[in-house]
Amino acid sequence: MRVLVTGGAGFIGSHIVDAAVAAGDEVRILDALLPAVHRVAPAVNGGAELVVGNVTDRGQVEAALDGIDVVYHEAAMVGLGVDLDDLPAYAANNDLGTAVLLAAMARAGIGRLVLASSMVVYGEGGYRCAEHAAVRPGPRVRADLDAGRFEPPCPHCHRQLASVPVREDAPIDPRNVYAATKVAQEHLAAAWAAATGGTVIALRYHNVYGPRMPRDTPYAGVASIFRSALAAGRAPRVFEDGGQLRDFVHVHDVAHANLLAARRPDRPGRLTALNIGSGTPRTVGDMADALARAVGGPSPVVTGGYRIGDVRHIVASSVGAAELLGYRARVGFAAGMAAFARDPLRG
């Protein structure tokens, strides 16, 4: 199989490249190698062809697609962003880039796409109220957060809710710029599939961690931020009360899920969205503790601070991925975090 990995020099993309090369695929990478992402030249798998180019450039995309059977679309600007001045860059890199890619795929007659989506499309995760069953809480308000009331209340009776795994049929509710662009990517891909008869599997990644995570940038993930603090001899600083539930999934499991998706029998003309997580929820505080213990570093400090746009709990139901792809996470939390504490990060 001849595959193109956009963003294939990046964190997740580079692991997909490694997995595809190991599986015997012919692999081409399209990556802009932007200095904001790659402050030093990244190491690229020697079994893959590297094309330096941007997914927003029609000519570069068309050249990269020559002879390709399947596209893994990983190129994107990630993270919550710093402020709304980031909005044009997110829209250009994520949504315009996806539109250029999809149009070029249609012209080239390439009908199979594995799209990197994200848990952020849901907003808050799944919740149940003792009285009102499944409910969708609204955005948390600043007054509650200032008072240390971090749990979203039931929108009907205002009681505390229980977190439950979020399923792919949950309503879409993007609550920051990055989330809005990931929703737009899914919608563009669905429209492309309907118009061309192509197949899209959108993998909604949960909290991915592992070797080659970017470090020391405003857009870095929380696991990388904690790692950098510990490496500098500082205590990880945990927002809120540390009780935020997440599904931390190792990047090797994410890469494996991508290969399974690329090999799944066709469902032409439609987009299928699947959660990709570990299936085992943990708190952000758990993750900080695990990393600190692994390196013998200072214990985490729970700050009580918060970021507007963050959600309280979001954990994955990976039942869909298990049923459709045969996907099961293979890297456990304890082993994964112990390894990640010493894994090389990307500068």
pLDDT for residue 334 is more than 90: yes
- How large a percentage of the chain has pLDDT more than 70? 97
**217 band by pLDDT with thresholds 50, 70 and 90:** low
What is the DSSP secondary-structure string of 6-43?
ETTTSHHHHHHHHHHHHTT-EEEEEE---TTT-SSPPP
Q: Is residue 144 part of a domain?
A: no
Q: Is residue 320 part of a domain?
A: yes
What is the mean predicted confidence (pLDDT) over 29-52? Answer: 87
What SS3 class is residue 62? Answer: helix
Q: Is residue 198 part of a domain?
A: yes
Among residues 72, 122, 127, 178, which one is catalytic? 178
Q: Is residue 156 part of a domain?
A: no
- Distance CA(118)–CA(120), nearest Å, equals 5
Q: Is residue 269 part of a domain?
A: yes
Name residue, tokens 């969205």: 273
Q: What average pLDDT does the chain have?
A: 93
Tens of pLDDT along 245-265? 999 999 999 999 999 999 998
Q: What are 233's two structure tokens?
A: 């001899």
User: Is 178 known to be catalytic?
Assistant: yes
Instruction: Note the helical H segments in 141-275.
Output: 142-146, 177-196, 222-231, 251-262
Q: Is residue 189 part of a domain?
A: yes
The CATH number of the domain holding residue 218 is 3.40.50.720
Which of the pair, 141 or 103, is modelled with greater confidence? 103
Q: Is residue 98 part of a domain?
A: yes
DSSP assignment letter at 181: H
Count of the separate structural domains present in the chain: 1
- Distance CA(113)–CA(105), nearest Å, equals 9
Q: What are 304's two structure tokens?
A: 């009580």
Q: Is residue 200 part of a domain?
A: yes
Q: 42: domain range?
A: 2-126+164-341
Please check whether residue 68 is in contact with residue 28, taking contact to mean a CB–CB distance below 8 angstroms: yes
**319 band by pLDDT with thresholds 50, 70 and 90:** very high
